[in-house]
Structure 1
Amino acid sequence: MATNAPDRARRRVVITGWGMVTPLGLDAESSWEALRAGRSGIGPITQIEADDLPVKIAGEVKDFDPARYLPYKVVRRTDPYARYALVAAQEAVEHAKLTIDENNAHRVGVLIGSGYGPMKSNGEHVRDLDAKGPRAVPPMAAVTGAIDSAPGEISMATGATGPSRATSSACASGTDAVGEAVRWVRAGASDIVIAGGADDIITRVDIAGSGNAKALSSREGDPTEASRPFDEDRGGFVMAAGAGVVVLEAEEHALARGARILAEVVGYAASSDAYHWTAPHPEGTSVRRAMREALDDAGLTPDDVDYVNAHGTGTQLNDKTELASLRAVLGDRVEQIPVSSTKSMTGHMIGAAGAVEAIIGGLVINDGVVPPTINCHKPIDPSVNFVAHTAQRHDVDVVMSNSFGFGGHNAVLVLRRWIP
């Protein structure tokens, strides 16, 4: 349990709303219910032709009818990743009971992370160009085919006229977006930021490439058993799609409008391995630095951490390196607290992963329930509580959420129960 008083020398940043679109559900409530129940969202690929692909399973967003949530013109011009981001953002704004109008719009920013952006739309445009010629390419293709299309759509839909942009750091994109948005609020550039991450790269190109790189699980049999973080029999991650978005506010702004404060983001740090495109540094040097600097930013010590939502992809190298880094940073604390990977159920949502997992951290603080690492039958370290198979009740005040991406991108967030 954290005992240190919050740092009042700087502007405090709190979460007042969140929204999710995941392979487990089309909103935060249904996704969280599935996570608590230990249900998997992984199954056979249905949205693309996969018979000849090296991997035929993924965490698809299921039963998502964009027409239920978005105007026809928006649906027509947007890639699925932007639709997921926009729907999650709308849920977050509604959850925060936030009204954006002419009085505050200029103080509301938007920052959305994505590893890859509108890959599905761009692939379709190329195919149409080759098959039908230049006139088949939509006039808006160059605009909505850009990685900033999600924050642009969110800005236009909500009326937010503060800074609006995208950030990209592979699998750390969502975490970096939330962390950098915190810095905007701390610096006074915005009072509110709609921040998060989104991706949908369940495409033939991405599944083929990642499968050929041996990064994806090719486990046969029940697809729900394919994602196995921290298990001896892990064999790669499972590609997934989704979005997670939070409403971040300056504490004084949230209090002034009577908002319910769900958690405080107290720490953030990022680093780079400068080592290899797909493999983590074997000693986890920069990973450890990111964890330590995030705790320093929070004004907390390793003894304050009550739960770690691990990056936990289920690859041989990531899980081994992450666990060694957690031991190096947290010491014996790593054996005293729960450490789980929700990617065992969601799959790896790439740029959305870190944002969704930060929301999960906030839900853990509020509900006192830690979601499990399913499929962890033979833990790589039996002395660590990976919350195998079944959710556990824990009083949690402080959560560390880790994200590490291809290219050596590392980002860590620290969330804390809000203390007035």
Structure 2
Amino acid sequence: MGRTDAGVAVTGVGVVSPAGADEHTFWAGLCEGVSMARGCEELAGLPVDFACPVDGIDLDAAVGGRSVWRMARFVKMALVAARQAVADAGLSPERWDGERVGVVLGVGVGGVSVLADGLRKLDEAGPEAVSPLLVPMMMPNAAAGEVAIALRAHGPSLATATACASGATAIAAARDLLTSGRCDVVVAGGAESVLTPLVVSAFAAMGALSLRTGDPVGASRPFAADRDGFVIGEGAAVLVLERTPDAHARGVRPRALLTGTGSATDAHHPTAPHPDGAGARRAVGAALREAGWAAHDVDHINAHGTSTALNDAMETALISGLFPHRPSVTAPKGVLGHTLAAAGAIEAVATVLTLERGLVPPIANLDSLPDGFDLDCVVKEPRMQDVERALSHSFGFGGHNVVLAFQRADADGRSRTAPGVLTVD
């Protein structure tokens, strides 16, 4: 039996996504269930010329100040999301003990557009044209560093890199920092912005991207029988995490509780998931054990759901095998595209909102499941559901599997005790 404590409290959320650059527009777009994919001028002429970019926000204006010029796009998005989350939590960097505040942000690649621009300048004009800011702008830990500077956070500052599981890994690491007593507050999440010809061409060459160039809006279709690859996106999301008693002590009702996390590695292939989902299964088991839940306690699953053949087949077998009671399943990548390192954090925010609002967003473009896919997928419109316990799955290249277990907070901000006993190996 794992831990049965009240878990770690989620006291604030922030999000910058293709569906919206704040919690409310993000949630409305997710519940609308329509893909945000569109043709992108910067990708014109490529085999795949569409993506899910972040629109509707002037990031430079949102960040403000004179330091914005030294930040790559993924850093700006991370900073905007972090500020939103801290404000939502009712905290202020001017008043907290910064030495007890940590920052953990998942980033898969970093400022690749800055790197590509620097290489072009080197080729065209020589080494004198290369910016002295290229390295600090492109490095993956730039997001964690800049957020720590802006928030006056002097505790541990970490950048997790587990590919498309990076944001979820950051949240799991944040929980460890809190339960170990090293931090009192951790700002955790993920950010990614790599909508460049170089990266999109590379994913296309791998066969990972949908080729529906004539129908971008219909391209991302998680779990669908006719899925043909993911649509690349960008974004950032941040959660503020605190120990539950600390949140109660300052009179804050948690938005949800992070009651368990689980991580495991396939050690199978650089890009393909283990065919029987062995690593993912171990990650689910670890999350359930830490939460003190049985498999049948899970009401809802926010699936990784990339819209690729291998991932969706593996995840379907995982869910149907471990959860025969058929919890509801959603997959935000149908709307948002695959935001890579940001995905686990963005989907964690979506899971928190589902728990709060009793509403499960639909999977975009899912008309029919393949034969043998036994899932209770939410489609066409949001589903009202009293969700008390939910899992959020994140899987990444390199065989990384991370599962987050979230529980609804009652009116007094406390969790209910799960009645079951763990039954997953």
TM-score in terms of structure 1 length: 0.94
- Structure 1 contact 37–390 (Cα < 8 Å) conserved: yes
- Are the structure 2 counterparts of residues 115 and 12 from structure 1 closer, same or farther at C-alpha, using a change threshold of 3 Å? same
**Could you tell me which residue of structure 1 aligns to residue 4 of structure 2?**
7
The aligned amino acid for 1:171 is: C
- Are the structure 2 counterparts of residues 204 and 103 from structure 1 closer, same or farther at C-alpha, using a change threshold of 3 Å? closer
The aligned amino acid for 2:12 is: G
1:410 pairs, out of 398, 401, 405, with 401
The aligned amino acid for 2:284 is: M
1:121 pairs, out of 114, 119, 138, with 114
Structure 1 residue 293: Cα displacement: 1.1
1:167-193 Cα distance to aligned partner (Å, 9 max, x none): 100000000000110110000010100
- Are the structure 2 counterparts of residues 277 and 5 from structure 1 closer, same or farther at C-alpha, using a change threshold of 3 Å? closer
- What does 1:10-409 correspond to in 2, within 5 Å? 12-46=7-41, 48=42, 50-101=43-94, 104-330=97-323, 332-333=324-325, 335=326, 337-380=327-370, 381=372, 383-409=374-400
The aligned amino acid for 2:11 is: T
- Structure 2 contact 364–380 (Cα < 8 Å) conserved: yes
Structure 1 residue 155: Cα displacement: 0.6
**What residue ranges of structure 2 are gaps of 5+ in the alignment?**
415-425
- Structure 1 contact 288–328 (Cα < 8 Å) conserved: no
Q: Distance in 2 between matches of 1:158 and 1:360?
A: 24
Structure 1 residue 75: Cα displacement: 2.0
The aligned amino acid for 1:417 is: R
The aligned amino acid for 1:351 is: A
Equivalent position SS for 2:376: coil
Equivalent position SS for 2:315: helix
- Structure 2 contact 320–374 (Cα < 8 Å) conserved: no
**Could you tell me which residue of structure 1 aligns to residue 422 of structure 2?**
none
**What residue ranges of structure 1 are gaps of 5+ in the alignment?**
none
Q: Distance in 2 between matches of 1:26 and 1:309?
A: 20
Equivalent position SS for 2:99: helix
Equivalent position SS for 2:322: helix
Q: Distance in 1 between matches of 2:300 and 2:189?
A: 21
Q: Distance in 2 between matches of 1:209 and 1:115?
A: 15
Structure 1 residue 72: Cα displacement: 4.4
TM-score in terms of structure 2 length: 0.93
Q: Distance in 1 between matches of 2:322 and 2:177?
A: 28
Structure 1 residue 37: Cα displacement: 1.6
Structure 1 residue 73: Cα displacement: 2.9
1:122-171 Cα distance to aligned partner (Å, 9 max, x none): 11122122222223222222222211100111011111111112010000
The aligned amino acid for 2:7 is: R
Q: Distance in 1 between matches of 2:240 and 2:210?
A: 34
Q: Distance in 1 between matches of 2:328 and 2:312?
A: 15
- Structure 1 contact 292–329 (Cα < 8 Å) conserved: no
Q: Distance in 1 between matches of 2:96 and 2:207?
A: 52
Q: Distance in 2 between matches of 1:99 and 1:257?
A: 13
Structure 1 residue 64: Cα displacement: 2.7
Structure 1 residue 383: Cα displacement: 4.3
Q: Distance in 2 between matches of 1:136 and 1:249?
A: 45
- Structure 1 contact 374–390 (Cα < 8 Å) conserved: no
Q: Distance in 1 between matches of 2:124 and 2:67?
A: 25
Q: Distance in 2 between matches of 1:249 and 1:272?
A: 27
Structure 1 residue 5: Cα displacement: 12
- Are the structure 2 counterparts of residues 149 and 101 from structure 1 closer, same or farther at C-alpha, using a change threshold of 3 Å? same
1:196-242 Cα distance to aligned partner (Å, 9 max, x none): 00001111111101001100000243211100111000000110000
The aligned amino acid for 2:15 is: M
Structure 1 residue 26: Cα displacement: 1.0
Equivalent position SS for 1:212: helix
Structure 1 residue 57: Cα displacement: 1.1
Equivalent position SS for 1:189: coil
Structure 1 residue 282: Cα displacement: 0.8
The aligned amino acid for 2:378 is: V
- Are the structure 2 counterparts of residues 115 and 5 from structure 1 closer, same or farther at C-alpha, using a change threshold of 3 Å? closer
The aligned amino acid for 1:205 is: L
Structure 1 residue 283: Cα displacement: 1.0
